Amino acid sequence: MGISGTGCSASTDKRVRGYSRCMDDDATTLISFRGGAIERAAWDRLWDAADGACARRALGSRRERYRRRVQEEMAAFAQLGLEPGVLLEVSWLVGDLRGRGVTFGPGYGPQSGSLLLHLLGLNGVDPLDHGLPFLGFGRELEARRLHLRVASRAEQAELAAALRKWGQADPRFANDERTLEVVIGRDPGLALTREMARMAEQASGGHSCDPLHWVYPWDDPETLRLIARGETEGIPQLDGEQLREALRAAAPRTLDEVIQVVVATRDAGPHGLRDRYLAARSGVERPALPHPELEEVLASTANVWLFREQVVIAVARLAGCSSEQAVRSVQRLSEEGSEAREGSYSQQLAERVAERCSVPYARGLYLVRSLRQSLAQVVDRSAVLAEVTEAYRQAYYKARYPAAFQAARMNACLAQVSPRHGLRYMARGGVSARCPHREAVIALCREAVRDGLTVLPPDVNRSRWGFQAEDRNSLRFGLGLIAGIDRSAAERLAARRRGSDYRSLMDLVVRGFDGAARIDQIEPLIFSGALGDFGRDRWALRRELDQVRQPRRAWQNAYASSRGAGSDGFPELRGPEGWHGESSAEGWGFQRELDVLGCVPSRQYFPEPAAESERLRPVR
């Protein structure tokens, strides 16, 4: 389920998909965390921390629901053998790093269904907001492994360093069996969402636009309509042609229905699940209920088994047992597999179901077989919820702030662009190597224009290194895509104009380049049109640059004349036609803009990549 940009070549389209995918990077760091000596038996402090969070989050009957759920989870946590002080100290470290700007993911696997971990700040999904029952902490936490996800390598290293520093204060406890292993994963999609939030806040005048700050963050009508139309290109977990078709067919109206479509259409799902689910939702062919007591369990998914939580609740109702016993029963059933022949535990459970529901043993055996076989196609809803909520936030920015959405995606590709590759403009007139990252940025520009956005050309007095959203429907081209302009040069130019804008070429040379007339960086700025505010055309600015440059000695002039190049190795300009442009100044400007950018933003012209035989040749 990657990203596909319409109008791209196959290689460029694959490159765009690779940069937009959210959950592909599984690089992890494993840290053993024991904690300090002051928190060895901190049940009261753990309860106080969770109860305080409940008080801040809810009132009245809702607060009582939170407290009952926390009590249930703390009783289950006590059976894991982990000391509460260790969990508390991890939450303190995470809270401190979050306050310093580290971005943490919404959760990982079944741990996303824990309200206790959510109140401690260790996952970002409130299970009561999404109707998630507590079915345990999952096998990972039972094995004393807590998963955390951050947005970048730097944040991953910062969190690992903090855990190493404070996690084993006493070496005597380094190999204690109650030590908690913290698995730190990296999720590039978090960095993408964070960049979208920053862009949207900047475009809206500094006001926070994050839907998580809303009272009802998951019910935005514009976002849900965009998802229902299948306009989810560029959104991880919601992309892919089959998924977009399923979204258009199902037209989900809530986040829960979006999750159902994602689960039914997943690549690893059983064959035919997507078609069965869509037929059931439309009412064409709705499966019969296995038992009347399961109507409430299966009603939300049109009588199709999709989630493991449904199977656990069904076992609890049919067998008349607690949710904890139902979790263990489901685990035993999954160990038996999905074969038609029942094992000993299935037979025992069938007897209990037949007695509890007052049905013949054969009917009870049929119900148990249905539950056991459904385990082959279900997933943990809590695990999918953590991923889809992040994709929903990106869909929100695409619906409400499309320029911020596209600018963030472009910057993710721009970070990989080489300032010297993929262009016709090259030192000594040589051939530049191909840069697929640059082609991916241009493909995203083309996609933005197709979606009705305006890509404004670069401007040395307004542009920064990366693309930026000017308002809801327009974005500014970044200096980092201009030939020869690397990130440090672009950031230096932006930093030194804070007092006042650059007013002339000489002002740019003095303030932006410390008095050095660097032709390899200033000339591309001229050709790209980034100096348009200076009130002179590009040809006049290029001639002025020759005058600003330091005079050469006689032997340098003779050497340059013999090679037909300037002192820096760049060809001398004898007029627009010397650069294979048209005779008119307008055609010359168009040609040079294409050479130093690979596109012409001033004309909204973002061409397809040239054929290999014609690549990097001047275009007349």
pLDDT digits 0-9 by tens, 445-478: 999 999 999 999 999 999 999 999 999 999 999 9
Instruction: Tell me how far apart the alpha carbons of residues 443 and 450 are, in angstroms, rounded to a whole number.
Output: 11
Q: ∠146-188-97 over CA atoms, to 5°?
A: 55
The answer as to whether 200 is a domain residue is no
Domain boundary among 186, 207, 238: 186
Tell me the pLDDT of the chain averaged across its residues.
82
| Total domains, the chain | 3
Tokens of 337: 């597999």
Tokens of 530: 């980034």
With beta carbons less than 8 A apart as the criterion, state whether 105 and 390 touch.
yes
Instruction: Tell me how far apart the alpha carbons of residues 399 and 220 are, in angstroms, rounded to a whole number.
Output: 10
The answer as to whether 541 is a domain residue is yes
Tokens 């076992």 belong to residue = 315
Instruction: Tell me how far apart the alpha carbons of residues 168 and 165 are, in angstroms, rounded to a whole number.
Output: 7
Structure confidence at residue 514 (pLDDT): 86
Instruction: Tell me how far apart the alpha carbons of residues 620 and 121 are, in angstroms, rounded to a whole number.
Output: 59
The answer as to whether 511 is a domain residue is yes
Q: How far is C-alpha 167 from the geometric centre of its chain's CA atoms?
A: 30
Structure confidence at residue 458 (pLDDT): 95
Residue 244 is part of which domain span? 221-374
Burial of 342 (0-12, 13-18, 19+ CB in 10 A): middle
The answer as to whether 4 is a domain residue is no
Structure confidence at residue 540 (pLDDT): 86
Edge-to-edge strand order for the sheet containing 145-150?
A: 28-33, 180-186, 145-150
Element spanning 29, H or E = strand 28-33
Residues 6+ apart with CB under 8 A from 112: 106, 123, 125, 127, 132, 382, 383, 385, 386
Structure confidence at residue 611 (pLDDT): 61
Structure confidence at residue 475 (pLDDT): 94
**Residue 363 shares a structural domain with residue 435:** no
**Residue 254 shares a structural domain with residue 319:** yes
Instruction: Tell me how far apart the alpha carbons of residues 511 and 447 are, in angstroms, rounded to a whole number.
Output: 36
Q: ∠303-309-314 over CA atoms, to 5°?
A: 60
**Residue 469 shares a structural domain with residue 603:** yes
Percentage of residues in the chain having pLDDT higher than 90: 41
Structure confidence at residue 171 (pLDDT): 55
Instruction: Tell me how far apart the alpha carbons of residues 299 and 295 are, in angstroms, rounded to a whole number.
Output: 6
Q: ∠503-474-255 over CA atoms, to 5°?
A: 145
**Residue 480 shares a structural domain with residue 577:** yes
**Residue 495 shares a structural domain with residue 567:** yes
Structure confidence at residue 595 (pLDDT): 85
Instruction: Tell me how far apart the alpha carbons of residues 311 and 291 are, in angstroms, rounded to a whole number.
Output: 13
**Residue 565 shares a structural domain with residue 428:** yes
Q: Could you say which residues of the chain have pLDDT below 50?
A: 1-26, 37-38, 40, 169, 427-428, 553, 555-556, 559, 563-583, 615-620
**Residue 576 shares a structural domain with residue 506:** yes
**Residue 597 shares a structural domain with residue 450:** yes
Instruction: Tell me how far apart the alpha carbons of residues 238 and 392 are, in angstroms, rounded to a whole number.
Output: 9
With beta carbons less than 8 A apart as the criterion, state whether 396 and 223 touch.
yes
Structure confidence at residue 401 (pLDDT): 94
**Three-class SS of residue 454?**
strand
Domain boundary among 374, 392, 421: 374
Cα-based torsion angle of the residue sequence 154, 155, 159, 164 in order, rounded to the nearest 10 degrees: 0
String of b and e for 74-106 (b: at least 16 CB within 10 Å)? eebbeebebbbbbbbbbbbbbeebeeeebbbbb
Burial of 150 (0-12, 13-18, 19+ CB in 10 A): buried
Instruction: Tell me how far apart the alpha carbons of residues 120 and 401 are, in angstroms, rounded to a whole number.
Output: 31
The answer as to whether 551 is a domain residue is yes
Structure confidence at residue 342 (pLDDT): 77
Structure confidence at residue 338 (pLDDT): 62
**Residue 166 shares a structural domain with residue 229:** no
With beta carbons less than 8 A apart as the criterion, state whether 85 and 41 touch.
yes
Q: Alpha helix locations (H) across 430-502?
A: 436-450, 487-495
Per-residue pLDDT reduced to its tens digit, 571-603: 444 444 444 444 456 677 788 888 888 899 988
Between the CA of residue 479 and those of 461, 462, 494, 526, 608, what are the distances in Å?
11, 10, 9, 12, 21
Tokens of 108: 């990982």
The answer as to whether 205 is a domain residue is no
Instruction: Tell me how far apart the alpha carbons of residues 99 and 91 are, in angstroms, rounded to a whole number.
Output: 12
Structure confidence at residue 56 (pLDDT): 86
Structure confidence at residue 170 (pLDDT): 52
**Residue 419 shares a structural domain with residue 354:** no
Structure confidence at residue 536 (pLDDT): 86
**Residue 344 shares a structural domain with residue 245:** yes
First to last CA, the chain: 40
The answer as to whether 13 is a domain residue is no
Domain boundary among 374, 394, 429: 374
**Three-class SS of residue 30?**
strand
Burial of 534 (0-12, 13-18, 19+ CB in 10 A): buried
With beta carbons less than 8 A apart as the criterion, state whether 356 and 319 touch.
yes
Number of alpha carbons in the 13 Å side-chain half-sphere of residue 17: 18
Structure confidence at residue 175 (pLDDT): 56
**Residue 432 shares a structural domain with residue 352:** no
The answer as to whether 398 is a domain residue is no
Return the closest-CA partner of residue 315 out of 347, 350, 284.
Answer: 350
DSSP letter for each residue of 149-199: EESSHHHHHHHHHHHHHHH-SSGGGTT-TTPEEEEEEE-HHHHHHHHHHHH
